[in-house]
């Protein structure tokens, strides 16, 4: 029986790890931090697999992943605010849209960045995003408005880039 549970969990992780790693990277902006956040989220799930697997394991992983990523972003932000400001003010050679979006995401607060990744890159609903972040739907909507206003100043053609959804 234990072997079946282990194999079931392994199949789940293999099927979902890329999606969660992508979300973590977009949120954190650092591959190493993203891998660590995913590892902690999957470890948390493994410890609760018997209880969670019949329900919604994605919700459990997403909740742990986003909360850990936000904590990591807060720590990194405190440690390197000066470096981030220098990067944002850099008028270096022309960059691709991908780099521009990455730099623009770096200019957001951790919660704004989490909302942008959840809502527009993972295409989650307001309610689902609120549940993942442990906040209200109204807070998610406010964070999204503020984040998108800030992103538009950094990436003017943003309207076409975020999941085809009309932006406020």
Judge if 67 and 101 occupy the same domain.
no
* Count of domains forming the chain: 2
Picking from 46, 79, 112, the residue at the C-terminal end of a domain is: 79
Residue at 167 is within a domain: no
Do residues 142 and 149 lie in contact, with contact meaning Cβ atoms separated by under 8 Å?
Answer: no
What pLDDT, in 10s, does the model give residues 82-100?
343 334 444 444 444 454 6
Which domain range does residue 138 map to? Answer: 81-162
Picking from 60, 79, 98, the residue at the C-terminal end of a domain is: 79
Do residues 18 and 9 lie in contact, with contact meaning Cβ atoms separated by under 8 Å?
Answer: no
Residue at 168 is within a domain: no
Structural tokens at position 80: 């390197």
Lookup result for tokens 């790693």: 21
What pLDDT, in 10s, does the model give residues 102-115?
777 888 999 999 99
Q: What H or E segment, with its residue span, contains residue 24?
A: helix 2-28
Judge if 65 and 130 occupy the same domain.
no
Q: What is the mean pLDDT of residues 1-21?
A: 85
> According to the per-residue pLDDT averaged within each range, which of 60-64, 71-75, 161-165 is highest?
60-64
DSSP 8-state code for residue 160: G
Structural tokens at position 5: 């549970």
| Confidence bin at 75 (pLDDT 50/70/90) | confident
CATH of the domain at 137: 1.10.10.10
Judge if 5 and 33 occupy the same domain.
yes
Which stretches within 29-155 are classed as H helix?
Answer: 31-52, 57-79, 81-88, 97-106, 110-116, 126-133, 137-154
Choice between 83 and 44, residue whose per-residue pLDDT is larger? 44
Judge if 74 and 88 occupy the same domain.
no
| Confidence bin at 16 (pLDDT 50/70/90) | very high
């Amino acid at each position: 029986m234990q072997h079946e549970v282990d194999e079931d969990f392994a199949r789940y992780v293999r099927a979902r790890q890329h999606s969660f790693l992508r979300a973590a990277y977009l949120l954190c902006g650092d591959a190493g931090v993203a891998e660590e956040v995913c590892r902690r989220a999957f470890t948390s799930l493994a410890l609760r697999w018997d209880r969670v697997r019949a329900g919604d394991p994605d919700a459990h992983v997403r909740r742990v992943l986003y909360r850990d990523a936000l904590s990591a972003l807060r720590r990194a932000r405190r440690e390197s605010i000066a470096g981030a400001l220098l990067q944002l003010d850099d008028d270096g050679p022309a960059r691709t849209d991908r780099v521009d979006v990455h730099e623009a995401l770096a200019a957001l607060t951790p919660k704004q960045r989490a909302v942008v990744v959840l809502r527009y890159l993972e295409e989650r609903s307001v309610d689902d995003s609120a549940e993942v972040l442990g906040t209200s739907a109204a807070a998610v909507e406010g964070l999204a408005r503020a984040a998108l206003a800030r992103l538009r100043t950094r990436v003017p053609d943003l309207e076409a880039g975020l999941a085809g959804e009309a932006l406020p």
